Amino acid sequence: MQTSNAQKTTLAKLDPRGRKVKILATVGPASRDREMLAKLVKAGADAFRVNMSHGEHADHAETIRSIRALEKEFGKPIAILADLQGPKLRVGKFKDGQAVIRHSGHFTLDRNPEPGDENRVELPHPELFGILEKGQRLLINDGKIRLRVIRADANEILCSAEVGGVISDRKGVNVPDAEVPIPAMTEKDRKDLAFAVEQGVDWIGLSFVQRPEDLAEARKLMGPGIALCAKIEKPMAVRRLGEIIELSDGIMVARGDLGVELEPQEVPPLQKKIVNATRMAGKPVIVATQMLESMIESPTPTRAEVSDVANAVYDGADAVMLSAESAAGEWPEESVAMMDKIAVQVERSEDYKARVRFLDTPPDATTADALSHACMTIADTVSISAITVFTSSGSTARRVARERPDTPMLVLTPSMRTARRVGLLWGAHAVATKDIGSFEEMIAKGKRMALRHGFGKAGNKLIALAGVPFGTPGATNLLHVVTLHGDELKGFGE
């Protein structure tokens, strides 16, 4: 018999967050003090992004300490993503600090370190001179100035200004039509990565990814225990998207830079393509940049921004991200609360379940995938209050989340690292708890944790998913349906 709408409404209320998509909030000057961070958690933030492009290590260390203290205060794991800056291509300096490039005029980028003028400026990146070809584009200052290459040699790049305008010292350069032969990590990134590892962050965001090989150095320097999120912000990365997804632990759709290097109309379908491909791989995908940008200055978003967030939720993204809205805006708490309200409203809509499952994710030919798929099928058929997943690495939780079940997922793990990492995983609510050693202990603990953390009440049914022998990563082979009773809270501690 199918679960009735009334039953599903009752079960939905048992989800502690009321939603399954996660909110990743960037920390900055407007939000780094502990009091504001606490407000953001209460407003709905599930995870925090520390942007290594700005601020000093001492400030970031204080932020991380505050977040870890809030974990204890709120009694829940909180994921921290350290986002590396990546290489930045910039022009040199000008005689007067700036110049005006004429529309349809010629402008030269060269290797001459002398200050520039309206005709030329230094481009202090010798690796670009050997790769650019006639007809390729150079975008300066986030695409406000658009140049087209006429001729390029080892010392000069002569361009035609398709869109001219004011250009000033050290403005950024984007090269959308060529694979830039520089690594994704700079010396600053290596120092920032070492700092982040030392601080015990849970995720590393890798910028400027163009090819699968770009992930190798970060992997080597990170060591085990930390997850790697590849930021898709370069058109070149899209060409090898499948390989990049395979070698990463998660993906961020970095729409800011994508929107500079691509035509605006190309970004929405590409966002859906990246989200779908990452979901198919069973890995978390974050939609980022300009989601509620008007809330940097306004306490309310535009209707278009609300629709943008809603579409990402309907697409089944694991997380949606706030950037300057929470880092430097005037309304950080309100921005998180608004994103929470949008997500909750979308997930309560009648067609959400069908929309989020529109992408067909057939299970791989493995026992673990078959059982994860069965969890969804059982929850759709029988009134289930929660899927309780026992995992040491988080892989079982990822498999279940891939199916986008209508039922909340309670992830029980002996590893605090794992509990924090799944903070970016759709529908996963993690609890770090002592390991289990037997089937009977698994059932007793699953019931106890479900009752204690609000995932069920007496009379509700619960799915338990685990692997035997216990503690063996990747050995998911056991699914059990149990009924909760009121006296199970009498068990021992977590």
Q: Give the residue numbers annotated as catalytic, written as ranges.
A: 49, 90, 231, 289
Q: Rounded CA gap, 385 and 13, in Å?
A: 10
Quickly tell me which residue has 């979308």 as its tokens: 346
Quickly tell me which residue has 């050693």 as its tokens: 437
Q: Rounded CA gap, 63 and 259, in Å?
A: 30
DSSP 82-141: EE------B---BTTSEEEEPTT-EEEEES--S-B-SSEEE---GGGTTT--TT-EEEET
Q: Rounded CA gap, 250 and 227, in Å?
A: 8
Quickly tell me which residue has 């986030």 as its tokens: 142
Q: Rounded CA gap, 128 and 312, in Å?
A: 35
In DSSP terms, 321 is beta-bridged to 24
In this structure, the number of other CB atoms found within 10 A of the CB of residue 172 comes to 15
DSSP 156-221: EEEEEEEE-EEEETT-BEE-TTS---S-S--HHHHHHHHHHHHHT-SEEEEPS--STTHHHHHHHH
List, as own/partner pairs, every contact residues 367-370 make where C-beta atoms lie below 8 angstroms and the sequence separation is at least 24, other chains included.
367/476, 367/477, 368/395, 368/396, 368/399, 368/467, 368/474, 368/475, 368/476, 368/477, 369/399
Q: Rounded CA gap, 335 and 275, in Å?
A: 23
Strands 384-390 and 319-322: unpaired
Q: Tell me the backbone φ, ψ of residue 317, rounded to 5 degrees.
A: -60, 145
Strands 409-413 and 428-432: parallel
Q: Tell me the backbone φ, ψ of residue 297, rounded to 5 degrees.
A: -120, -15
Strands 165-168 and 98-101: antiparallel
Q: How far is CA 358 from CA 168, 252, 262, 362, 371, in A?
A: 47, 21, 27, 12, 20
Q: Rounded CA gap, 454 and 476, in Å?
A: 25
Nearest-Å Rg of the Cα atoms of the chain is 24
225: left (phi over 0), alpha (psi -120 to 50) or beta: left
